[in-house]
Amino acid sequence: MGLRAATIIAMEDWSGIDTVLCDLDGVIWLAHQPIAGSVGAIARLRASGRRVLFVTNNSAAVEADNERALGSVGIDAVGDVVSSARAAAQLVEPGARVLVAGGPGITEAVEHRGAVTVLNDGRHEPDGFDAVVVGLHRDFDYHRLSVASAAVRAGARLIGTNTDSTFPTPAGLLPGGGSILAAIATASGTTPVIGGKPHQPMADVIAELVGTADRPFDPDSVLMVGDRLDTDGLFAQRIGCRFALVRSGVTPPGADIDTPVAADVADLAAVADRLTRSTR
């Protein structure tokens, strides 16, 4: 049987937590349909004086679209969404020529980095690439696989936004960006480097956003909320903060876990209940 750590450390003091990092898919919504209680939970966390950042491995959308989607369900998120596309772009050198095997979020982030992007449309390019950046996109096919893997075999660096094999929807799990990345890695015989959770580039982005010159990043003041142990949980371990596992996404209710967590609860509303009861 897996360790149900929440029952062991349920009395841990959370009064010092002033920043909450929330995953999106499986925590806030499923295919942009809000999970019950999530919108109110964000409002309560902010009303308690805590900062909320939305940290997602979904790299498909541009930042403004993520902000608009959250706004449409009642969550003001302008400037508060951090995607794995931004983290992966940190692995690209300015001026590099990059093949994008992913959505417009990757193109936006890589171009903001100062690189030149070419969208992988399945047609072979005469010029080479310095990097291939891979994320979730729903038009991936054999021709796009051929172009991306050929670019990597020719010397391009293979960069993944994330390794999530699936992502949750109201109808169940669908293939994630990590499944596409695995196909390209296998076809090219190359091990990719990864930008998003739980890897260091995303940790560096969060430390820069949360920390200030007057107050460096303090992991003891941060809580990560997510639905996956293999990304969100390991990301919390990497940055040294507490982790609350919610059972509203990839990890179903009742499934055994073998990783210590600060809380193992049904959903974000339960996390907000716990935090707002903590005296600051």
Active-site amino acid positions: 23, 25
Q: How many CB atoms lie within 10 A of CB 56?
A: 25
CA distance 90 to 69: 25
SS3 readout for the chain = CCCCHHHCCCCCCCCCCCEEEECCECCCEECCEECCCHHHHHHHHHHCCCEEEEEECCCCCCHHHHHHHHHHCCCCCCCCEEEHHHHHHCCCCCCCEEEEECCHHHHHHHHHCCCEEEECCCCCCCCCCCEEEECCCCCCCHHHHHHHHHHHHCCCEEEECCCCCEEEECCEEEECHHHHHHHHHHHHCCCCEECCCCCHHHHHHHHHHHCCCCCCCCHHHEEEEECCHHHHHHHHHHHCCEEEEECCCCCCCCCCCCCCCCEEECCHHHHHHHHHHCCC
Written as six digits, the tokens of 92 are: 């690209």
